[in-house]
Amino acid sequence: MASVLNNIFGAKPSDGPDAAQAAGDADFADFSQAADPSPAPVAPGVSSANPFGAAQTLQPYSKWYNVHERHSLSEFKTEGIILAVITAVLLLHLVGARLNRNKAKQWIRAHTATLTSEFASVGFSGIPQRASGKQGDELLQALADANAQEGDALLKEKSLFEFATYATGRANVAFLDVKLTLLKRFNPLTVLFETAFSFFVDSVGESHDVLEATLYPFDGKEAQLVPGLPGAAELRAKETGKSTYDGFVWALVHKERMKQLREDRYDVSLTVTKDHSSLPNWLTVMSENAEVTNTLLTPELIKAAEAAGDSFEYLIVSDQPIDKPKSLNEMTPRKRLFLKYRLPSSNDYTNLVPLFRQLVRLPDLLAQRAHFRPETLRKIKQTREGVAKQIQKADEESRAEERALERERAKKAKRDQELNALDPKGQKKYLEREREKELKKSMKRQTMRG
């Protein structure tokens, strides 16, 4: 075929078949001869183990397998900084959490004697099984032994900065809730931010370790609140009606917390602030009536508040809601006692335990002496009625607005229905009549104003 093509295109004939094959396979000239089986000589100074013929280096080949010879610590500065920060944050978290737990344990250890002596059941473990079949003094002793065995477990850790305990089983007291709110020592940046924020914003108070205790008295409701335990029937029969007292709002407050307290709590806003001659300059009384102050401000309470010093914030006796009520149902009296004070940094509660004891024993005083004259109760009732009238008026205005909106919606729905039932010409006439009516109304208003 090659010779035919050469003849057609005028190519010169090759000398022989070998030349034609060589001309056709010119690209494979390098492979036209067989390889020489004899090995190539190795040049002196070249390693026979190196297939690329590179000169042998002075360092041993083990260098490429040892990390410490290929890298240095200076290459890991960024990783070292990250690990150091993580370690520091972890240590601060662990140390801060441990400090908060130790502070909470110090509080419960200082108040365990008061709680176990005043209440039959303390903590969240409930009534032990070994006390279920006992009555009278045997029941009280079994409960006291169970509380003593709980120890620090009487206080429950809700979070790393919140701890709580619960107590019940006392005359005139339904139950007691105690909450410790501590600084977030496990997160120093948060503490720093909160401190700086309170420094620049007056409405935000400075963060402290605080105790908030809320006591709920029976107020004659033992029959509804006392559970069916051994001896409970006797308690209900004996105490029903004897734990009641008149409703009012009264507070013993540190003057530095007085303004914020009045802004934050609706019940305290009903009171009048008056200094008392028996109190130090930094304490004041917020009360609805002077007779209430004379009844509750006992020498023991004054002494306990003075001993607490600047750690004391307030002690409130109230039957009104904390938040401003928006309906008459929210104004239903609900009697409670509130205590708040700051925890000392030294964990020395010698001066604060008497104040806590006063809170626990105050329902006894209320049940005995908080029965006021009709004139006093009438003045207290007048203040409540004034607030109730305001709430009722606002409620009626809100309902009137709702009724007006409902009428507007019904009127608009009727107008749309009538308009949709008409043809285009009728719709045009309908809209023209509406515009004429609106124009007449506007002219009438202007005439009346003139």
Q: What is the tens place of the pLDDT at every residue in 217-237?
A: 998 887 777 655 555 555 554
Short-list 364, 319, 357, 311, CA closest to 337: 319
Strand 272-274 to strand 162-170: parallel, antiparallel, or no bridges (unpaired)?
Answer: unpaired
- Of 129-143, 203-217, 296-310, the range with the lowest mean pLDDT is 129-143
The first and second tokens of residue 307, run together, are 């001993």
Residue 45, pLDDT score: 47
Give me the percent of the chain exceeding a pLDDT of 90: 41
- Of 113-117, 202-206, 341-345, 403-407, the range with the lowest mean pLDDT is 202-206
| Count of other CB atoms within 10 angstroms of residue 334 | 13
Q: Which pLDDT tens digit goes with each residue over 24-38?
A: 555 555 555 555 555
> What average pLDDT score do residues 356-360 get?
95
Strand 312-318 to strand 336-342: parallel, antiparallel, or no bridges (unpaired)?
Answer: antiparallel
Short-list 148, 181, 110, 124, CA closest to 355: 110
Residue 341, helix vs strand vs coil = strand
Residue 17, pLDDT score: 47
Q: Which pLDDT tens digit goes with each residue over 174-214?
A: 999 999 999 999 998 888 888 887 777 766 667 889 999 99
DSSP H or E segment with residue 272 = strand 272-274
CA distances from 26 to 23, 29, 31, 32 (A): 6, 5, 10, 9
Q: Tell me the pLDDT of the chain averaged across its residues.
A: 81
Residue 342, pLDDT score: 95
Q: Which pLDDT tens digit goes with each residue over 62-84?
A: 555 677 777 778 888 899 999 99
| Count of other CB atoms within 10 angstroms of residue 270 | 20
Pick the more confident residue, 210 or 146. Answer: 210
Long-range own/partner contacts, residues 263-267 (CB < 8 A, 24 or more apart): 264/322, 265/316, 265/322, 266/320, 266/321, 266/322, 266/323, 266/324, 266/325, 267/316, 267/318, 267/319, 267/320, 267/321, 267/322
CB 367 within 8 A of CB 244: yes
